[in-house]
Structure 1
């Protein structure tokens, strides 16, 4: 079995997966991240970006060859 690494994908695919992950993170954790950012005086966009990248490595990839 081949286990793909996110870093080995082309730029267009990486960008697409990043945008999907960001939408997913904002949908699932947006309110919690916003409250955490306010409470700790952090940048909300930076928190979302960090969670987006973490979320990418939780995806299951399926390739049709």
Structure 2
């Protein structure tokens, strides 16, 4: 679970959440994505970015108001 203060949804905080998600995706799926990129020639950064955004929807957020 990720705890967030409701008033702290600044652009900086959103970027922090995206960075956490990116690291999580890279750790979990990095090798399989690299293998897929080698086989298909797809863009690694675009695939990571897509998975990073999808991954955000799997998190449980708790907002403190």
TM-score with structure 1 setting the length: 0.80
Consecutive unaligned residues of structure 2, counting only runs of 5 or more, are 1-8
Deviation of 1:33 (Å):
0.4
Consecutive unaligned residues of structure 1, counting only runs of 5 or more, are 1-8
- Greater RCO (Cα-Cα under 8 Å, separation 6 or more): 2
Higher helix proportion, which one?
Answer: 1
Higher strand proportion, which one?
Answer: 2
**1:41 and 1:34 mapped to 2: Cα distance?**
10
**1:11 and 1:19 mapped to 2: Cα distance?**
12
Q: Which aligned runs of 4 or more in structure 1 are off by greater than 3 angstroms?
A: none
TM-score with structure 2 setting the length: 0.80
In the alignment of these two chains, the number of paired residues is 57
Deviation of 1:36 (Å):
0.5
